[in-house]
Structure 1
Amino acid sequence: MTGKVDLNDCFIMRLPLLVTCLGMTASLQLAAPLSLQAQSEGWLLGPNSSTGENSKVVPNNCIEEADGSITCDTKIENPSGDTPARPSYNPFNN
């Protein structure tokens, strides 16, 4: 041994670490947009209905499970004077 470092040996030793890091980064980028789109709500409006942004989806009877997940029933509240519209509420876009 002469104490010299061969750059090819260093690259070969670091290659598995590089591949692992790139794979983890790619998987996180694919998973992130899915978690950001958890809920959506829309309104199917009929003639003379004025329900919209002022209406609210209100959680009821929420239960927290042992694993930390929360499950709730929902209720639509329309402001007084608004004609009821048929809500379209999707808790998860799968």
Structure 2
Amino acid sequence: MFNRWGEALLTRSLGKSASRELRGLLIENSGKIVLDFDGVDIINNAFADEVFGKLSIDIGLPELKKRTTFRNVNPFIETVIKSAINERLAEVAMRK
């Protein structure tokens, strides 16, 4: 799924494109969405925040976990995604 944007997902612009597609899939499908990173070597925080950080706020982390499953995620990508989600959730919690 994510390899359609390349091997290195390093811009917020790419993240916005991926986020739009993922949000559409979540609306169209009631089951789990497979988030496949086959062929993706690296992502950065801007991309991860745009896709996963913002989505974790918009639909809630429990719903995101319930509706998605990850495949072919290397340890670096996993760390970046978790960090982006945690940073976004902490930012929202600070505003309350």
- TM bucket (normalised to shorter chain) is under 0.3
TM-score normalized with structure 2 length: 0.20
Question: Which is richer in strand?
Answer: 1
TM-score normalized with structure 1 length: 0.21
Question: Which is richer in helix?
Answer: 2
From the CA coordinates, give the structure whose radius of gyration is larger: 1
